[in-house]
Structure 1
């Protein structure tokens, strides 16, 4: 029997450290690569594959949308072809998600050995980090922080493979914790 490929979901509020910890994971092990969701809209392009409404419509028509959500006036898509490409290349996708519904949709839909990680920071940390990196939409990010808190509160049964308080761990420490957890779930010698 072929083992499922390893994959990681980083869930948490804005500015919890998803980008920074993903960079630290990549430095630790080049097999970890951020999954670039398809983004339909405008604004930040780093970490996304930018697309148009026609790209989204085609994915939807072909049944290839695993999960999509709207935030900040944009649509963000986890698509099957994007994940398939990474897995075929032997990479470990690292998905950034901000909704538990999305976490569950990905786990239920895409066959992989998923390691789910809750990255958390306080509202005050989100505000300081957002301001520190020059975000022009800090208030929207704080609203998203509250939506994430509400999401966590409304899913008390959600079980995470790992919870990291990012205010108490350096990105390198968090990356090491995540890597150890993935290795424990997907020991060497498994063939994907």
Structure 2
């Protein structure tokens, strides 16, 4: 059975940091690089074109897409298939509950769902520290994420992490324990 990890949370909640801790912990964890159509930061993305996106949509290979910061971000079937080759476990970053639902519903795998959270004040501090030049947009996204989460009170999580209180390595250890406990390979 294929496995994956979904990290949900607002901007600067620690998705990149915890993913790095997971990849250091075990080589089977790999960051999922979403397809990005647009401009700005390229690290951590597969940059694409509107034509590539149209082709994926025509084939029904778009699992989830969202628009934020004047860009389009895509979780695609070929990308997830490739990320799971050889038994690796991709770590997918999402900031919308609709994305969580779409990925779990449209891409068969055993998904471990993790809620990462930090205060808006922490996002305001971390955003410029990590090089963001659009902190105001990140804070608006924080508000949108909080409202999105509040509108899904029955959302189920295998783990909830307050990244202001829990160190990244501890979060990675806890996520790894959940993955291992649910894995037929354990």
Number of equivalenced pairs: 186
- What does residue 115 of structure 2 align with? 118
d(CA) in 1 for partners of 2:108 and 2:139?
33
TM-score (norm 2): 0.98
d(CA) in 1 for partners of 2:184 and 2:120?
36
TM-score (norm 1): 0.95
Aligned ranges 1:30-109 → 2 under 5 Å: 30-109=27-106
Task: Please identify runs of 4+ aligned residues in structure 1 that moved more than 6 A.
Answer: none
In structure 2, stretches of 5+ residues that fail to align are: none
d(CA) in 1 for partners of 2:86 and 2:112?
19
Q: Deviations over 1:71-119 (max 9, x none)?
A: 0000000000011112223210110000000000000000100000000
User: How far has the Cα of 1:27 moved from its partner?
Assistant: 0.1
User: How far has the Cα of 1:58 moved from its partner?
Assistant: 0.4
d(CA) in 2 for partners of 1:98 and 1:90?
26
Q: Deviations over 1:102-141 (max 9, x none)?
A: 0000000001000000000000010000122231100000
Provide the aligned C-alpha RMSD in A: 0.9
d(CA) in 2 for partners of 1:133 and 1:40?
22
